[in-house]
Amino acid sequence: MHVHFLDPYRPRTSPIHALDPRVKFVLTLAYILTAALTPIAAWPVYILLLAAMLSVEILSSLGVRYVLKRASLALPFVLAAFPVIFTNGQTALFSFSIGSLTLTGYAEGLARFLSVALKSWLSVQAAIVLASSTPFPDLLQAMRAIRIPRLLVAMFGLMWRYLFVLVDEAMRLMRARAARSGHRAATGPSPRLRAGSRSGGSVAWRARVAGGMAGSLFLRAFERSDRIYMAMAARGYDGEVRALPLSSVKPAAWLALGSGLGMLFLLLLLGVLFWG
């Protein structure tokens, strides 16, 4: 059973897809670091960073809508920074009461919250473009090339592969349940009654069944991962995933790397000088 929907890679013919994965990985890290280090409320720099990311999304042929739709899934996590609106600042913007509690929103806190939200949103977009334009094995090779610890790279690779194993076992359980489950025939006189008929027990019963399936899934995935590891060990696996050596970085890739790093450095310097 192929679970290709888990793989974010989208094959396209574009300059971003053709770029060396080592260059893309370094530029993505530099972009995220630049967004994180940009001072609070440096709105012109944020706009320039967004313009640069939108340009990359257009060049990648992934589609701006595709990237923005996926990036929006991370926005709810930004709400963790929402309390800074009421705890950080001196210039009051609004105030309201909840019972005996009075909350006051500050301009400085609002600026900090919006800055955190923009930084997170831009960083997630960069990660999505990288994952969607680079096959995962190439990403692992890029990590090794920039001297990320080999054990950490091996953990990333095995985690990615075992994710597919876990989903495959879950789909096997779902198919087994569907094959063994009967559905009550709808014999009501009206279409509404037939459409509203349901099979199964109460909510508590369904919860017990779901819990049992989750436990079975864990045991089956654990046993299968053990078999996979023994098969890998029998074929000479010693903790290191070996691959063919990468070719040298081409001059065009060096030019793209230098231009990207230079632009990001100028944006960060602009933010530090005028809003730092």
Q: How confident is the model at residue 4 (pLDDT cuts 50, 70, 90)?
A: low
Beta strands in the chain (DSSP E): 92-98, 101-106
> In the prediction, which pLDDT does 182 show?
54
The secondary structure of residue 14, as a DSSP letter, is S
Give residue-wise pLDDT tens across range 145-197: 888 988 888 888 888 888 888 888 888 888 887 787 655 544 555 444 444 44
Q: Look at 19-28, 33-42, 240-249 and tell me which has the smallest mean pLDDT.
A: 240-249
Distance between CA atoms of residues 53 and 63, nearest Å: 12
Q: Nearest to residue 229, comparing CAs of 238, 220, 217, 242?
A: 238
For 71, the 3-state DSSP assignment is helix
Q: Nearest to residue 121, comparing CAs of 33, 10, 34, 35?
A: 35
Considering the entire predicted model, what is its pTM? 0.82
Distance between CA atoms of residues 114 and 41, nearest Å: 8
Provide the residue type at 96 as one letter: F
